Structure 1
Amino acid sequence: MEWKNFDQLESLRLFAETKPMDLKETLDSAAGATRVETCHVPMAAGLDYNYAAKAVDQKILLALVKLAEEAQLADKYRALYNGAMMNTGEQRLVLHQLTRGQLGDDVVVDGVNKRDFYRKEQERIADFANQVHRGQISNEKGEKFTSVVQIGIGGSDLGPRAMYLALEGWAKTNQSFQMDAHFISNVDPDDATAVLSGIDVAHAIFILVSKSGTTLETLTNQAFVMDALRKEGLEPARHMIAVTSETSPLAHSDDFLTAFYMDDFIGGRYSSTSGVGGAVLSLAFGPEIFDRFLQGAHAEDLLAKETDPMKNPDMLDALIGVYERNILGYPSTAVLPYSQALSRFPAHLQQLDMESNGKSVNRDGQPVDYPTGPVIFGEPGTNGQHSFYQLLHQGTDIIPLQFVGFKRSQRANDVTIEGSSSQQKLDANVAAQIVAFACGKEDENRNKNFKGGRPSSIIVGEELTPEALGALLAHFENKIMFQGFVWNLNSFDQEGVQLGKTLARKVLSGQTQGVLTAYSRLLGL
């Protein structure tokens, strides 16, 4: 394999021979409907990636295919899942795909088969969750736990929280719901107080998630929760488990009922399919539902192995994103799920994308001279339509859009008003927004004029099931990975979050001077 900076790729010259596609003219033409029917790539779990409203014609797509070949995207993915050292900053393997299934060769580190290790931890979590559900593991009075609370921050919170909310309604409709789940992440004491005041602490089991066992916010919240348990006359160790690394201070602590393990080859933001997501989701919905979620993710990972970008939805989405970022110069991307269940999915993708590809140096630490990861933001439709869509439709920046929509709701509850159901109204809004963004509307009144030409894609599914959620998550993880390969980045470390943490510890220890001392005093420290 050869690693080149993006601006050194010979295939870039092909884009100089193309001209931007007129999206408005194309979709407004007689061929527009045919384009919607043909410009799509099947995903796993019945999902479908449709790029008809992206400003890419056959000539641009051909250039993107050549770009993928020269950047060796398929080869680099193969190297990653076969155990190559892809995290160059921390000198680590990258194995989150292995938490949900085998993609290639056995990956053995220090005599340990990592797939067997991840499978064993999943089985341990499943056994623990089943014992909790049967009441074999209970509180001090022998009573069942009725709720679970995850304590973690960043990847230990955003992904698992988004996945729980995504499946909560489905599980309740399909008689798979076992326990309410809650999350404490912010070191702001109001966060922990709000959660603890809203649950029955005596019947709650807490999951402390920290790979290193040293995360300041998480350990502070652990102490907060332990104090609350003691005030209720409860022994904290009877109510807490840990998800951590085998070498962390939490691994064999008497403060926990038990500990489940992950390793340094699973990055926090990629950890929803490890024990970080597995413990809370298995307790909330049952291990079999978590396993179905993993199956959907693995099926999408298998599709990502396809070498032809036109048959690989994750790679194609990544390449179109690179075209929009680097050739067309669009600085942001909006993720717009038309599903209330995905209310926190954009927040998870915000971390996943911006922490992975928010880099200005390449994988060897050398500065790059081209734009890399875009700003990611989003909100569920239709709420977003009444919020920031004004800027998306008529603002000075063109912002590519990624819609997600489903044909059926998760809950068997709807109402028909004015001849259409709520779900039909929701889906009608998705279709209308895609066309409105792409085609616009001419009006002599400039306030009411819509230029159009605003590109979007949509991932469509029948229903948001565990398998569909797993495929959706893996799609975006793989998209971000492929973009990092194109840009020659290390998408698997996050040094940008460390400086603030280090300075915060100096403030708390009183080891400050100059402007840091001034700001500390301003905040009453």
Structure 2
Amino acid sequence: MPEWRNLDELQSFDALRELPKVDLAAEMAGENGARRVSRYSVPMAAGLAWNYGAKAVDDRILSALRDLAREADFTGKFRALYEGERINTGENRLVLHHLTRGQLGKDVIEGGVNKRMFYTEQLRRIADFAADVHSGKIRNEAGQCFDHVVQIGIGGSDLGPRAMYLALRNWAKTNGKAFMEADFISNVDPDDAAQVLASSDVSRTIFILVSKSGTTLETLTNEAFVKNALREQGLDPARHMIAVTSETSPLAHSDDYMAAFFMDDFVGGRYSSTSAVGGAVLSLAFGPSVFEAFLAGAAAEDRLALEEDPLKNPDMLDGLIGVYERNVLGYGSTAILPYSQALSRFPAHLQQLDMESNGKSVNRFGEPVSYPTGPVIFGEPGTNGQHSFYQLLHQGTDIIPLQFVGFRKSQLGTDDVIQGTTSQQKLCANVAAQIVAFACGKDDADRNKKFPGGRPSSIIIGEELTPESLGALLAHFENKVMFQGFLWNLNSFDQEGVQLGKVLAKKVLSRDTDGALRVYSDLLGI
């Protein structure tokens, strides 16, 4: 079994802290900058590449990071995870999201069940159901084909699948894979569900209820809202709804649903896009073959994450440099900046993935840690972000590392030339310019116009956002977060921080309040 130690107990971390810091602005200037950008790049799966030429590292720091990965036993801890050790110490659970898209090691048997076979069986059942819907074998009461799907869930049951759907929607239209439009209901605010229903023909809509426990308050409230809307139109909700849940939940074998597809406790919500949670909506929207390609991209990136040498492992190296920035350079935030409108909700998904996983102040054994852990994650797609918060990124008092994502081609393939260049060329020109502007800055006698530079970034570059490259992109960030949790000695797979508010909300709804809780309840008219 791997040995789990705090970051500040590792000798290689002490050595890392003693190394001279890199003057990024100087390093990125002139031909030296060109050599850095050409040299500091690692291939990813599905034709992607992670370029870290504009990160504040050099060969000495990279060598120290390699020593850190070895002393922290990244390889042994990753193997323990994917071969079924109970890595989730907070809930005493296995961590098996990698197994939803491929097998990296030996069989994982739990409760007499081969878990890889369990996941593939659920995806086969989803594929069969989607095929029956698309072929018209499954129809509504009037004999019409379904053409719309709405997912009802919250947190990981919404953010990841919604981001993946939006990421592939235009690609699917271009490639003849757009079978059904999809929408999502997540917020218990009734305006959320009402807005989706108002713009939907509910008679031709399949609703997917996603709740592992079958007891999620927000999700069940929205389910009731939807069922009422169906009944008001004389429709039988049971002929319009399916469930994605655990086999032990009250939803699993209910007559209220056309079908139920299963997940388990070993795939956390924020890691569930490659499970039935993402599989049902994406297979209905785009077809099972697209979802399979998405899984293949994720599985290929996972295999790259097995590489022991961090300089050949993009996921591991991204995680290591992130810890260096957080714990040596003292940077407390990271901005996710996709220059792709299709990835408009990807930063929101990564916000949950990273901050819910590594937003912890105690280690795996419940002991307080004496060093910073997970950073604040935020972001928006370019170029909109440039006209929003980039002012602070360029000239603010805090240095915030930046993660760009860019593609050479658009999904819809438009290439109209406007003022001498295409829109895609203008988009790519902006991301290239921003990387250099952040790193190199600009001197000016007018201090208001001076850019200090020294703002580190990396970029993931690909030819086009496809199902395979999206899967690889998702797995890259999941693995990065995992490796960082290993270094910080955290349990990255529970989320106790979301529980207290739920408990207090139930007290408010049951009128069991006192003190400040009672006053706030009164102010809100509850």
> Taking structure 1 as the reference length, what is the TM-score of the superposition?
1.00
Q: Secondary structure at the match of 1:171?
A: helix
Mapped partners of 2:364, 2:202: distance in 1: 46
Aligned residues: 525
Q: Secondary structure at the match of 1:207?
A: strand
Q: Deviations over 1:370-402 (max 9, x none)?
A: 000000000000000000000000000000000
Q: Deviations over 1:421-460 (max 9, x none)?
A: 0000000000000000000000011110000000000000
The answer to whether residue 308 in structure 2 is matched with residue 307 in structure 1 is yes
1:415 to partner: Cα distance = 1.9
1:29 to partner: Cα distance = 3.7
**Which residue matches 1:412?**
413
Mapped partners of 1:501, 1:414: distance in 2: 49
The answer to whether residue 319 in structure 2 is matched with residue 328 in structure 1 is no
Structure 2, unaligned stretches of length 5 or more?
A: none
Mapped partners of 1:69, 1:125: distance in 2: 41
Q: Secondary structure at the match of 2:244?
A: strand
| Runs (4+) off by over 4 Å | none
| Identity level (%) | 73
Mapped partners of 1:93, 1:341: distance in 2: 33
Structure 1 letter corresponding to 2:197: L
Indicate if the aligned counterparts of 2:8 and 2:14 stay in contact, CA closer than 8 A: no
Q: Secondary structure at the match of 2:361?
A: coil
The answer to whether residue 149 in structure 2 is matched with residue 148 in structure 1 is yes
**Which residue matches 1:206?**
207
Mapped partners of 2:437, 2:493: distance in 1: 37
Structure 2 letter corresponding to 1:69: R
Mapped partners of 2:153, 2:338: distance in 1: 25
Tell which deviates more after alignment, 332-341 or 134-143: 134-143
1:142 to partner: Cα distance = 1.4
Mapped partners of 1:462, 1:75: distance in 2: 34
Q: 5 Å matches for 1:389-428?
A: 389-428=390-429
Q: Secondary structure at the match of 1:150?
A: strand
Q: 5 Å matches for 1:284-433?
A: 284-433=285-434
Q: Deviations over 1:137-181 (max 9, x none)?
A: 111111100100000000000000000000000000000110000
Mapped partners of 1:257, 1:15: distance in 2: 57
Tell which deviates more after alignment, 412-421 or 393-402: 412-421
Mapped partners of 1:240, 1:79: distance in 2: 38
**Which residue matches 1:524?**
525
1:470 to partner: Cα distance = 0.1
Q: Deviations over 1:46-101 (max 9, x none)?
A: 00000000000001111111110111111100110010110000000000000000
**Which residue matches 1:237?**
238
1:31 to partner: Cα distance = 1.7
Q: Secondary structure at the match of 1:507?
A: helix
**Which residue matches 1:111?**
112
**Which residue matches 1:66?**
67
Structure 1 letter corresponding to 2:194: T
Indicate if the aligned counterparts of 2:74 and 2:486 stay in contact, CA closer than 8 A: yes
Tell which deviates more after alignment, 465-474 or 7-16: 7-16
1:242 to partner: Cα distance = 0.1
1:32 to partner: Cα distance = 1.2
Q: Secondary structure at the match of 1:115?
A: helix
Mapped partners of 2:17, 2:173: distance in 1: 53
Structure 1 letter corresponding to 2:280: A
1:12 to partner: Cα distance = 1.5
Q: Secondary structure at the match of 1:266?
A: coil
Mapped partners of 1:440, 1:186: distance in 2: 41
> Taking structure 2 as the reference length, what is the TM-score of the superposition?
0.99
**Which residue matches 1:477?**
478
Tell which deviates more after alignment, 13-22 or 98-107: 13-22
Indicate if the aligned counterparts of 2:244 and 2:261 stay in contact, CA closer than 8 A: yes
**Which residue matches 1:18?**
19
**Which residue matches 1:264?**
265
1:13 to partner: Cα distance = 1.9
**Which residue matches 1:491?**
492
1:254 to partner: Cα distance = 1.2
Mapped partners of 2:13, 2:473: distance in 1: 30
Q: Secondary structure at the match of 1:149?
A: strand
Mapped partners of 1:351, 1:146: distance in 2: 30
Mapped partners of 2:357, 2:18: distance in 1: 31
Structure 1, unaligned stretches of length 5 or more?
A: none
1:109 to partner: Cα distance = 0.5
Q: 5 Å matches for 1:26-41?
A: 26-41=27-42
Q: Would the alpha carbon gap of residues 16 and 241 (structure 1) be closer, same or farther in structure 2, given more than 3 Å must change?
A: closer
What value does the CA root-mean-square deviation take over the aligned residues?
Answer: 0.6
Structure 1 letter corresponding to 2:86: M
Structure 2 letter corresponding to 1:145: F
Mapped partners of 2:336, 2:52: distance in 1: 14
1:418 to partner: Cα distance = 1.5
Mapped partners of 1:110, 1:142: distance in 2: 42
